[in-house]
Amino acid sequence: MRVCFVSSYPPNHARLSEYAQNLVNALTGRPAIDTLYLLVDKSARSEEVLPQDPKVKILRVWKADNLLSVLSVMFYILKLRPDVVHFNVSFQSFGKNKLTNVAGLSLILLCRLLGFRVLAGVHTLGEKADLQKFHQKDSFLNRAGILMATKIILSAQTVVVLVRSYGDFLKKRYGHKGVQYIPHGASVDPHLKMNGNGKVILIFGHMGPHKGLPLMFEAFEKIRKEKSNIKLVVAGSNHPNFPNYLEDFVKAHVPNVEFSGYVPQKKLGSVFRIADVVVLPYNAAPGTSGVFHLACGYGRPIVASDLPEIRELVNDGASAILVPPNDADALKNAILKVLFNKEVALKMSEQNLNFAQSENWGAVAKAYEDAYLSLLRC
């Protein structure tokens, strides 16, 4: 079976590139897949990612916010004539420009009209988002655009969602019989034991307005008044849609705060090794949290905002202390509970490792392989 996989991809950051790399690495181990053509975004970065498996062919054929380069994806699909086309997308996969994103998503519909078997793995649902929290106007025009984008995505025979409730929503509202839930996936490293120091808080990811960084700093100021030896590590870079977001936080020079910048895949363990708790103080979630799954895979306790997408992970077996969004006192108290109660921290650590094992990348890759094979039988 020959699969075209359309996505952002490292060394580019965000826009699902890290997810794509993990999934592709796992898909190479599936016996039904002979070749994976990665139709991915061009990169200006020097640290080019080379394929680690002869099954993988990387073709850098499009560029974010470039309408014509996005259309070149269709040229390569027509040239390669794959058995399945897999789009790994969100509502902002193709850049900041709304027109480019609509054009990129429209490739799903175009592939269907041309007779290709199409799977759309969609990470976000605009209809479930609070637009203002993502610095978007909640206008009729934006809502109409979101509705159109949703309809385009649903033109795929198979639509994979990473949040179970999103699947329920799409089935109920649109009656699409090909909607399927597949978990996010997690890498498991049981060797990163809790150090028990109780001194390091980690907030991790591509930083933008919905990540709750101001709330984290407010809660951290309260924590420092009670425990002066606590350290906060902010690991990650600006989200490409908010390229200067971290500047004011860095310039503030808050004591005991360290900014580590972007963390490549091979150095993730060194960052999570020092963390006694991972905090997700989000005020909104555009989909399931990759950071949550990372923390579980490294056996870290988690404190997070009580949002439906995160609560679903806890209901599925993960461990996290959930606090009301935008409540600095509740966030402070939850963090201190984890940092200074070793029994609680160790129990959470073990539970999160078990959860990550149940959603490991190998199991996720098999689920996608099964979905591809189902498409071939259509």
Residues 67 and 163 in one domain: yes
Residues 160 and 252 in one domain: no
Which of 17, 24, 110 is closest to 64 using CA atoms? 17
Residues 211 and 280 in one domain: yes
Residues paired with 40 in a beta bridge: 7, 60
| Length of the chain in terms of residues written | 378
pLDDT in tens, 5-58: 999 999 999 899 999 999 999 999 999 999 999 999 998 776 666 677 999 999
Range of the domain at 234: 200-358
Is 366 part of a structural domain of the chain? yes
Residues 115 and 216 in one domain: no
Structure tokens given for 302: 């988690």
**Gap between the Cα atoms of 34 and 32, Å rounded:** 6
Is 193 part of a structural domain of the chain? no
Task: Write the DSSP string, 218-258.
Answer: HHHHHHHHH-TT-EEEEE--B-TTSTTTTHHHHHT--TTEE
Task: Write the DSSP string, 21-90.
Answer: HHHHHHHTT-TT--EEEEEEE----SSPPPPSSTTEEEEEEE-TT-HHHHHHHHHHHHHH--SEEEEEE-
Residues 39 and 144 in one domain: yes
pLDDT in tens, 119-167: 999 999 988 776 665 666 677 777 888 899 999 999 999 999 999 999 9
Contact 237, 262 (CB under 8 A): yes
Is 224 part of a structural domain of the chain? yes
Q: Would strands 321-323 and 302-305 be described as parallel, antiparallel, or unpaired?
A: parallel
Is 62 part of a structural domain of the chain? yes
Q: Which residues of the chain have pLDDT under 50?
A: none
Residues 100 and 211 in one domain: no
Look up tokens 């019989």; give the residue. 177
Q: What is the pLDDT of residue 190?
A: 73
Q: What is the CATH number of the domain that holds 170?
A: 3.40.50.2000
Is 195 part of a structural domain of the chain? no
Residues 273 and 126 in one domain: no
Element (H, E) at 313: helix 308-315
pLDDT in tens, 238-247: 988 889 999 9
Residues 23 and 169 in one domain: yes
User: pLDDT exceeding 90 applies to what percent of the chain?
Assistant: 81
Residues 12 and 32 in one domain: yes
Residues 276 and 351 in one domain: yes
Structural domain count, the chain: 2
Is 175 part of a structural domain of the chain? yes
Is 348 part of a structural domain of the chain? yes
Is 190 part of a structural domain of the chain? no
Residues 334 and 366 in one domain: no
Residues 352 and 242 in one domain: yes
**Gap between the Cα atoms of 233 and 201, Å rounded:** 6
**Gap between the Cα atoms of 158 and 153, Å rounded:** 10
